[in-house]
């Protein structure tokens, strides 16, 4: 990011300083593609929410459908989309087939990894093959999984830098082919207005350069998840090791947040974007988690900087709270 701050020129400017900034921008773009094993195009955005808005607002498709467990940003970007119910941690196939059988092309948004439960909602093949065979487009919200789990087979994917150790306020929309989107003019090949945030983009690429190390060093995370498996809220499907929904036997989620915060642990009830409300999590409701369990459930997430000592201290703190 410091290197990017020294490149003061607009990457679209034709002069020497602009060309230097442009070269750094394109180098970062290629590094992001390489780190994520993405063979399509990359549009840098201000974060995952903007990437979702571009995909859902400008995809060349007549209809939109989204899973019931999607992030709030998906529902804000496509308020009229058909909502696909969940069953045992995945989208109901009958509902998906009904949407795909409709007239015209469908854009279907299914998150890769749920941010509140750690459930891998979009399995590598099944949903993608179903959507593709029906002529639809698959959009995967990979904000929680990119750099940690291999991207799913999809037409568009959404990535957020700060979820993998990069700066806040930068993300990307990965798109298989620019022809899938309506351009609006401006920067990023005409698919996003506004000058690129070069320092943040370079920080994004740098974070991804190190993401592979975090992904392969998973033994402690797996052991931590296994130790807490008895209290983990797992609504079906495969579970990732770096996001856990934990249900206390009796204490409310809000009380748990206060107690754990005092013990030095930053956890949440639901996703960070909606945790300020005392209502039952819409996501846990979509996963058919019982009301009394949802009221006692917190979200624990592990990041690139989480240490084994922190994992052990949290496990001990949780045990003490459950006595």
- In this prediction, residues 174-202 reach a mean pLDDT of 94
pLDDT at 8: 92
Through-space distance between the first and last CA atoms of the chain, rounded to whole angstroms: 46
Rounded to an integer, what distance in angstroms lies between the CA atom of residue 298 and that of residue 88?
20
pLDDT at 192: 93
Q: For 247-297, write each residue's pLDDT tens digit.
A: 999 999 999 999 999 999 999 986 555 545 556 789 999 999 999 999 999
Catalytic residues, by residue number, are 273
Looking at the predicted structure, is the pLDDT value of residue 143 above 80?
A: yes
- In this prediction, residues 303-314 reach a mean pLDDT of 90
pTM of the entire predicted model: 0.92
User: Contact 61/107 with Cβ under 8 angstroms?
Assistant: yes
Query: CA separation (Å) from 11 to 32, 43, 66, 206?
Result: 18, 14, 35, 19
Nearest in space to 191 (alpha carbons), one of 58, 38, 61: 58
Nearest in space to 302 (alpha carbons), one of 241, 212, 234: 241
DSSP per residue, 117-166: T-BB-S-SSHHHHHHHHTT-EEEEE-TTTTTTSPPPS-SEEEEEGGGGTS
Least confident of 214-218, 220-224, 246-250: 214-218
Q: For 3-55, write each residue's pLDDT tens digit.
A: 999 999 999 999 999 999 999 999 999 999 999 999 999 999 999 999 999 99
Give residues with Cβ within 8 angstroms of 250, minimum separation 6: 296
């Amino acid at each position: 990011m410091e290197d990017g701050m020294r490149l003061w020129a607009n990457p679209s400017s034709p002069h020497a300083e602009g060309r230097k900034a442009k070269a750094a921008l394109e180098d970062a773009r290629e590094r992001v593609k390489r780190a994520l094993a993405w063979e399509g195009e990359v549009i840098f955005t201000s974060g995952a929410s903007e990437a979702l808005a571009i995909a859902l607002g400008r995809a060349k498709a007549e209809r939109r459908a989204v899973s019931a467990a999607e992030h709030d940003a998906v529902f804000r970007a496509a308020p009229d989309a058909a909502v696909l119910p969940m069953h045992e941690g995945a989208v109901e196939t009958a509902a998906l087939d009904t949407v795909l059988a409709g007239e015209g092309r469908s854009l279907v948004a299914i998150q890769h990894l749920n941010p509140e439960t750690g459930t891998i909602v979009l399995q590598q093949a099944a949903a993608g093959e179903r959507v593709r065979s029906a002529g639809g487009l698959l959009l995967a919200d990979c904000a929680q999984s990119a750099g940690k789990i291999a991207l799913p087979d999809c037409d568009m994917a959404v990535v957020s830098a700060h979820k993998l150790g990069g700066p806040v306020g930068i993300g990307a929309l990965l798109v298989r082919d620019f022809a899938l989107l309506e351009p609006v003019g401006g920067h990023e090949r005409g698919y996003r207005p506004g000058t690129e945030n070069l320092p943040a983009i370079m920080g994004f690429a740098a974070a991804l350069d190190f993401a592979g190390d975090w992904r392969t060093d998973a033994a402690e995370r797996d052991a931590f998840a296994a130790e807490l498996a008895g209290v983990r809220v797992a609504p079906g499907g495969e579970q990732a090791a770096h996001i856990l929904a934990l249900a206390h036997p009796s204490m409310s989620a809000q009380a748990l947040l206060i107690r754990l915060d005092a013990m030095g642990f930053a956890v949440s009830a639901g996703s960070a974007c909606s945790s300020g409300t005392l209502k039952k999590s819409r996501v846990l409701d979509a996963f058919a988690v019982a009301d009394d369990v949802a009221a006692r459930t917190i979200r624990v997430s592990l990041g690139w900087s989480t240490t084994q000592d922190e994992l052990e201290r949290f496990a001990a703190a949780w045990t003490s709270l459950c006595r």
